[in-house]
């Protein structure tokens, strides 16, 4: 059939992963492997205070006694934790600097990725387009943070994590590890020992952050892991919208990304956290290479009437293991989780959320859209629980899976625990296959096969896409299209 | 307009069309009638380029251009439209968005400019009015939760909006009550014109009372077994297809 031939051709012509280039910059590494000395090395490199080093070392001790979790529906060869670099940084200065001091190669990298680091470029952009501040993290180090002055004018702190440890120790000490304790799980514990950098945000009481904040993570160095740590605090009545994006070069070996994100909302505060995750997924045919994305993300809705909403578009990584969660502690607090997870080629994803209702009148909402294509496996795993005190807790879960082709798999594993008689939990789930009938119908109206798949998939994920900040929704829509190119034929 | 010569086509191992020939000149409406399994739907799929239908012999041309080597969407861009017997549901995509995307894809393929949103809306209101459709229906995801009759009406709506040259109607009367049938038939009749041709595939004569064909073909066992005027449809209604099925 001509259509099949054409699809095969277009797949071959296509560069499947568009961020796979490698940047050549002088880099500095810690010696390979992991030990207490490496932890000390990292801490010293970052010129950290003693208390921070103690915290790391305690985490390292705990980690040594822990076992890698094996309950997720993913399989991979055992990771040799001694065969990786735990610190890689562009040579030259440590920490964020002015743009003129940043290695031009790194600036070129971000330009290639379409991320504006020069404030004037953002300002010179489309008239009326909302501007957003960027923290760019290259391997282990935050290289530049934009719009800091404008943010400081309203009291918002947006800086690299290392800088926060030095400049705002009282805030870091007060909140670090209070949402995800150092020993929470194997990968979070590893992160606590060796975390490199990440973003720190503090929004003071009553302040609505005047622009979108975003962090772009780029893994560049070979054989290195990336362990960033993000901490966002919205004080009473504050609001902030934050977005993270991630890419990595195409390399044949697997690279570990074990990040921790902690969010805290006090009374009446709100955090909207969006992720567009596009780590290198590995070779679609052989499954060689790609990022292991083993990430712990959790929000503590500590204050009454506070709200956290997670939105994620997951298209990358060889293996995804992540469950952005909400601990709904404050009375009438609200948690939301909107997710699009796409797996193609040989990717494996085990992802979902946890909504833990502790406070009275807490509400949560989960909308998950999983799409599997190629020979991939896509699992939704979610927990909704209500504590005896969480009277009047409500949850609505909608969990849809779409299968493209005949060699992929989708699984849904919901856990529901209500420990009081006054909670209402609803769970809806569907699994459908993108049908040849639908494809033909759309093509008969004039769309090419690729366009038809895009239209059908966009329809499937629409409820989630509309939760993303507008300027990123467009980016996410393109990403969805790219990651499914050549999935039908 | 449409010229089919000695068409043979198979689905997997089974040969369904076995030497079908048909001439459909511009400005005419031809009905294709026949028993179940005669190959009526196969003919519509082969003409519109559905995958899985393999042409083993013969030709089909539209104004002299070979149709069979084109992709389904390329045929659509050349003005081939199929009104489906069972229109598909497209969740999450409003009917308007769907149609505008399709229309612009066709325009692009033909090297024509995009249709502006205002122009599109104006035309959509007009056509919806003619088909007595609730305009709000066009804002809902295409065909999702629509009744059988609403789906058929939506097919005719799309047909009128895309203004194709070769119109193929596959069992458009199934699932329609008599009032809906009249509205749909009026919509189809409004599209009759000297530069268009229609192929009306139907099981029953009833539809042909409303959409008067110039010719009626009997399709049996994969080929045209008989051709006549509208009176042939009445004869089939009285006597059934047995005679043709046996002869084949």
Contacts of B146 in chain A (CB under 8 A): none
Interface of A with B in 276-305 (CB under 8 A): none
The whole-angstrom distance between B111's CA and the closest CA on chain A is 13
pLDDT digits (tens, 9 = 90+) for A319-342: 999 999 999 999 999 999 999 998
First to last CA, chain B: 28
CA dihedral of residues A470, A471, A473, A474 (deg, nearest 10): 130
The whole-angstrom distance between B238's CA and the closest CA on chain A is 35
pLDDT digits (tens, 9 = 90+) for A274-302: 988 887 788 888 878 888 899 999 999 99
Supply the pLDDT for residue A84. Answer: 80
DSSP3 helix / strand / coil % (chain B, rounded to 5): 40, 25, 35
Mean pLDDT for the stretch of residues B67-77: 96
**Residue B242 scores a pLDDT above 60:** yes
By Cβ distance, the residue of A446, A448, A459 closest to B90 is A459
B55 or B148, higher pLDDT: B55
Domain positions in chain B are: 2-92+165-247
- Return the residue in A445, A449, A453, A455 with the most chain B beta carbons within 10 A, the one to mutate for interface testing: A445
Where does residue B113 rank: exposed (0-12), middle (13-18), buried (19+ CB within 10 A)? Answer: exposed
Neighbours of B132 (CB within 10 A): 12
Confidence of residue A177 (pLDDT cuts 50, 70, 90): very high
Chain A interface includes B141 (CB < 8 A): yes
Mean pLDDT for the stretch of residues A148-162: 88
Helix/strand/coil for B91: coil
Q: Which helix (H) or strand (E) holds B82?
A: strand B80-83
Supply the pLDDT for residue A20. Answer: 66
A87 or A275, higher pLDDT: A275
Contacts of B163 in chain A (CB under 8 A): none
C-alpha A405 chain-centroid distance: 27
Supply the pLDDT for residue A412. Answer: 92
Confidence of residue A123 (pLDDT cuts 50, 70, 90): very low
Supply the pLDDT for residue A9. Answer: 41
Share of chain B above pLDDT 90, in %: 73
**Residue A221 scores a pLDDT above 80:** no
Chain B interface includes A406 (CB < 8 A): no
**Residue A120 scores a pLDDT above 80:** no
For residues B232 and B228, give the distance between their C-alpha atoms in angstroms, rounded to a whole number: 6
- Integer angstrom CA distances of residue B96 from A337, B121, B131, B139: 29, 9, 16, 6
Supply the pLDDT for residue B162. Answer: 95
Chain A interface includes B103 (CB < 8 A): yes
By Cβ distance, the residue of B51, B75, B162 closest to A1 is B51
Mean pLDDT for the stretch of residues B63-86: 96
Supply the pLDDT for residue A178. Answer: 96
Share of chain A above pLDDT 70, in %: 79
Chain B interface includes A463 (CB < 8 A): yes
**Residue A369 scores a pLDDT above 60:** yes
By Cβ distance, the residue of B73, B75, B141 closest to A448 is B73
The whole-angstrom distance between B144's CA and the closest CA on chain A is 12
Mean pLDDT for the stretch of residues B73-101: 95
Contact predicate B109/B75, CB 8 Å:
no
Q: In this complex, do B73 and A441 lie within 8 Å of one another by their Cβ atoms?
A: no
A89 or B30, higher pLDDT: B30
For residues B76 and B113, give the distance between their C-alpha atoms in angstroms, rounded to a whole number: 17
CATH number assigned to the domain covering B2-92+165-247: 3.40.50.300
Chain A residue nearest residue B155, CA to CA: A445
pLDDT digits (tens, 9 = 90+) for B155-211: 999 999 999 999 999 998 888 888 888 888 998 999 999 999 999 999 888 889 999
């Amino acid at each position: 059939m001509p259509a099949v031939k054409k699809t095969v051709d277009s797949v071959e012509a296509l560069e499947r992963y568009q961020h796979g280039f490698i940047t050549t910059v002088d880099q500095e590494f810690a010696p390979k492997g992991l030990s207490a000395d490496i932890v000390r090395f990292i801490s010293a490199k970052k010129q950290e205070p003693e208390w921070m080093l103690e915290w790391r070392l305690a985490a390292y001790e705990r980690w040594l006694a822990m076992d890698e979790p094996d309950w997720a529906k993913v399989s991979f060869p055992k990771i040799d934790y001694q065969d990786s670099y735990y610190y890689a940084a562009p040579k030259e200065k440590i920490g964020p600097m002015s743009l003129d001091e940043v290695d031009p190669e790194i600036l070129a990298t971000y330009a290639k990725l379409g991320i504006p680091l020069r404030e004037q470029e953002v300002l010179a952009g489309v008239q009326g387009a909302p501007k957003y501040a960027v923290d760019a993290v290259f391997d282990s180090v935050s290289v530049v943070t934009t719009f800091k002055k404008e943010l400081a004018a309203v009291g918002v702190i947006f800086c690299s994590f290392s800088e926060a440890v030095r400049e705002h120790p009282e805030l870091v000490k007060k909140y670090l590890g209070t949402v995800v304790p150092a020993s929470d799980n194997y990968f979070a514990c590893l992160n606590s020992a060796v975390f490199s950098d990440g973003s720190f945000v503090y929004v003071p009481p009553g302040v609505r952050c005047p622009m979108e904040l975003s962090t772009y993570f780029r893994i560049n160095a070979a054989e290195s892991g990336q362990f960033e740590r993000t901490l966002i605090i919205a004080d009473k009545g504050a609001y902030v919208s934050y977005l993270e994006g991630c890419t990595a070069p195409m390399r044949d070996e697997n690279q570990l990304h074990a990040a921790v994100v902690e969010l805290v909302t006090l009374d009446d505060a709100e955090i909207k956290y969006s992720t567009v995750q596009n780590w290198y997924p590995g070779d679609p045919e052989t499954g060689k290479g790609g990022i292991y994305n083993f990430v712990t993300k959790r929000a503590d809705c500590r204050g009454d009437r506070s709200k956290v909403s997670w939105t994620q578009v997951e298209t990358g990584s060889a293996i995804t293991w992540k469950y952005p969660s909400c601990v709904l502690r404050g009375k009438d607090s609200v948690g939301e989780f909107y997710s699009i997870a796409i797996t193609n080629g040989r990717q494996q994803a085990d992802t979902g959320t946890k909504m833990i209702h502790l406070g009275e009148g807490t509400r949560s909402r989960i909308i998950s859209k999983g799409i599997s294509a190629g020979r991939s496996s896509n699992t939704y795993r979610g927990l909704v629980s209500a504590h005896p005190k969480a009277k009047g807790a409500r949850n609505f879960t909608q969990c849809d899976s779409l299968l493209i082709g005949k060699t992929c798999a989708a699984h849904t594993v919901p856990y529901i625990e209500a420990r009081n008689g006054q909670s209402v939990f609803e769970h809806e789930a569907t699994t459908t296959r993108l049908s040849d009938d639908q494809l033909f119908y759309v093509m008969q109206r004039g769309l090419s096969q690729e366009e038809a798949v895009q239209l059908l998939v966009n329809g499937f994920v629409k409820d989630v896409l509309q939760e993303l900040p507008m300027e990123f929704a467009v980016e996410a829509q393109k990403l969805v299209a790219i990651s499914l190119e050549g999935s039908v034929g | 307009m449409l010229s089919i010569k000695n068409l043979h086509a198979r689905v997997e191992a089974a040969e369904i069309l076995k030497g079908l020939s048909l001439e459909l000149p511009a400005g005419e409406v031809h009905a294709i009638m026949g028993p179940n399994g005669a190959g009526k739907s196969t003919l519509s799929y082969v003409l519109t380029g559905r995958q899985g239908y393999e042409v083993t012999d013969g030709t089909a041309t539209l104004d002299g251009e070979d149709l069979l080597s084109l992709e389904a969407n390329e045929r659509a861009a050349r003005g081939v439209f199929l009104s489906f017997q069972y229109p598909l549901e497209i969740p999450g995509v409003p009917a308007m968005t769907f149609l505008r995307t399709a229309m612009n894809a066709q325009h692009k393929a033909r090297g024509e400019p995009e249709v502006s949103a205002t122009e599109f809306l104006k035309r959509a209101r007009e056509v919806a009015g003619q088909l007595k459709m609730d305009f709000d229906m066009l804002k809902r995801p295409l065909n999702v939760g629509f009744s059988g009759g609403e789906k058929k009406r939506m097919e005719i709506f799309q047909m009128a909006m895309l203004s194709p040259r070769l119109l193929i109607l596959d069992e458009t009367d199934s699932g329609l009550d008599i009032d809906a049938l009249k509205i749909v038939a009026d919509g189809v009749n409004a599209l009759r014109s000297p530069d268009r041709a229609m192929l009306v595939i139907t099981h029953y004569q009833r539809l042909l009372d409303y959409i008067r064909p110039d010719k009626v073909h009997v399709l049996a066992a994969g080929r045209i077994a008989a051709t006549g005027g509208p009176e042939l449809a009445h004869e089939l209604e009285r006597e059934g297809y047995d005679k043709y099925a046996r002869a084949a």
